[in-house]
Amino acid sequence: MWGIRNLRKKIFIVIGVIVGLILLDQIYLHIWLSTPTTPFQRSLHLDDVRQLLRAGDDTGVTIILFDPVILHAWSKNQHVSAPGACIFLCHVIGPLSFAITAAQIRDRPVFLGRLAQLGFTVTLFESSEGERSHVFLIRQGSPLHLVVLHMRSAGYVRQYALEGPPHNLAQVKQYITKDTWNQMRLDRAYDRFSTKEARIDEVDLTVPSNIPAFIIDHRNSQFIPCNESRAGYYNLKYLKDETPEDVRFKHKAWKLLAKVTTLMEQLKIPFWLSSGTCLGFFRQCDIIPWAKDIDIGVFIEDYKPNLIEEFEKRGLRLKHKFGRVSDSFELSFMEEDIKLDIFFFYTEGATMWNGGTQARTGKKYKYVFPAFTLCWTEFLDIKVRIPCQTEEYIRANYGPSWFMPVHHWDWKTSPPNVKENGVWPKEEWPEVIVVKLDTENSPNPAS
């Protein structure tokens, strides 16, 4: 009797488990069917790509494959092919990205109309500056994404962040992974590039000529524009009438920065705006007229021994050389009466630092910053790098009152991130304190 009851109990439990699993499966299926389409549920249709290219051909618009993941995979495996198979283009997570230029959209407005005629739903986005920035196209498969590229007079190509009306963003976001969404919300800047023709998955496409260089450029392309609103407020609140001397200095300093940018590019040494020059960019989108120098930063790993020789060949006279490559290295050059300071940065745990040396006493100083990465910006029509964490960098060097102008600045005591760091032994001075002009070292100018 008890055996029969136990058997019935086990049967009821098994049936309950089976019914529960069936119900869970039905609930999951209902959720799956009612959830907006995602990139994992809706695959790319090659015919959508062909129709996009057809619209370009019909209207004279060049459409460039702009997806770094697909370009990387194809460039490494060009020999892989199978008739009728979609090996590369159909395996993108999120929308497949192409690029067109803003000039083509402006000069050939029939392009967007042609896309609609071919069955695409067209969602167009504009930047906060009123520039067309992104186009999303939905037809049969997963969306296609067009990045609108803007050619800038400073010699680079600008991509604006994805922003726009909430309902349009919500419509697009449902097709995009979190990582892709975060990437699309960034401003970007690229070197200008040429293109070539390529056949991928039996589709004739236009791609960047140097794909490895493009992929590296894309990886390091984040762009931070100068905040014109902040600069306008600063100028309204603090800026006095500039003297003719101030105007002359700013012009000379701009010429020096442009020259240094070219030289460092030729030497393949990345640098960024540092100290007072970075503060001028961030606070007022301009050179601080009373700073009297240009300041840049370089990671010590990027230093090249021929830097001094190449600079002097081009008319930049070495003013001083302090420290050694392994410790507190810094260089200063002069062109006419404008000084260029190059501060070399070292990584130490979660911080980065550059050194300072007092020539008269041999005292060493250390300026400590939170670890940072590098982004691009446009500063006075020059494409240059800045710390991505710009405000944290400025606050470390100038404190919470960085927005207020300071005309009197002591590089040894004024910066909140300065620390004494020992003294160079006198027997090492001939190596670590090389002064070619009779002036005291001042690594951090007035702010």
**CA 58 to each of CA 100, 135, 145, 205, 434: distance values in angstroms, whole numbers, following the listed order:** 15, 18, 19, 15, 66
Q: Is the dihedral of CA 428, 433, 434, 438 positive or negative?
A: negative
Give the distance from CA 301 to its chain's centroid: 20
Same domain, 209 and 269: no
Residue whose pair of structure tokens reads 């309950």 in the numeric block: 16
Query: CB 362: neighbour CB atoms within 10 A?
Result: 17
User: Is residue 401 a part of any domain in this protein?
Assistant: yes
Same domain, 201 and 251: no
pTM: 0.85
Record the tokens describing residue 231, joined without a space. Answer: 């600069």
Same domain, 169 and 302: no
- Alpha-carbon gap, residue 144 to 63, rounded angstroms: 12
Residue where one domain finishes, among candidates 219, 252, 275: 219
The domain of 190 spans 46-219
Name the pairing type of β-strands 203-208 and 195-200.
antiparallel
Same domain, 245 and 390: yes
What is the domain-level CATH number for residue 87? 3.30.460
Q: What is the chain's pLDDT, residue by residue, as a tens digit (447 residues)?
A: 445 555 455 555 545 544 444 444 343 333 333 334 344 446 888 999 999 999 999 999 999 999 999 999 999 998 887 787 888 998 777 799 999 999 999 999 999 999 999 999 999 999 988 899 999 999 988 899 999 999 999 999 999 999 988 888 888 888 888 888 889 999 999 999 999 999 999 999 999 999 999 999 999 999 999 999 999 999 999 877 788 999 999 999 999 999 999 999 999 999 999 999 999 999 999 999 888 899 999 999 999 999 999 999 999 999 999 999 999 999 999 999 999 999 999 999 999 999 999 999 999 999 999 999 999 999 999 999 999 999 999 999 999 999 999 888 889 999 999 999 999 999 999 999 999 865 444 444 445
Q: What is the DSSP letter of 371?
A: -
- Alpha-carbon gap, residue 359 to 365, rounded angstroms: 12
To the nearest 10°, report the CA torsion of 406, 409, 414, 419.
140
Same domain, 123 and 203: yes
User: Is residue 159 a part of any domain in this protein?
Assistant: yes
DSSP 3-state of 386: strand
Q: Is the dihedral of CA 343, 417, 258, 298 positive or negative?
A: positive
User: Is residue 37 a part of any domain in this protein?
Assistant: no
Q: Who's near 289: CB < 8 A, 6+ residues apart? A: 242, 246, 247, 249, 250
DSSP 3-state of 213: helix
Query: Would you state the pLDDT for residue 167?
Result: 87
Query: Would you state the pLDDT for residue 80?
Result: 80
Q: Who's near 110: CB < 8 A, 6+ residues apart? A: 59
User: Is residue 20 a part of any domain in this protein?
Assistant: no
Same domain, 159 and 78: yes
- Bridge partner residues of 295 (DSSP): 341
Same domain, 312 and 250: yes
CB 151 within 8 A of CB 157: yes
Same domain, 406 and 292: yes
User: Is residue 385 a part of any domain in this protein?
Assistant: yes
User: Is residue 384 a part of any domain in this protein?
Assistant: yes
In total, how many domains does the chain have?
A: 2
Record the tokens describing residue 206, joined without a space. Answer: 């236009």
Residue where one domain finishes, among candidates 188, 219, 250: 219
User: Is residue 273 a part of any domain in this protein?
Assistant: yes
Q: What is the DSSP letter of 389?
A: S
Residue whose pair of structure tokens reads 């009728």 in the numeric block: 84
Same domain, 205 and 301: no
- Alpha-carbon gap, residue 38 to 32, rounded angstroms: 10
CB 143 within 8 A of CB 122: no
DSSP 3-state of 339: strand
Residue where one domain finishes, among candidates 219, 241, 269: 219
Same domain, 287 and 322: yes
Same domain, 127 and 201: yes
- Alpha-carbon gap, residue 414 to 30, rounded angstroms: 65
Query: Would you state the pLDDT for residue 35?
Result: 38
User: Is residue 39 a part of any domain in this protein?
Assistant: no
Same domain, 110 and 244: no
Amino acid at 421: N
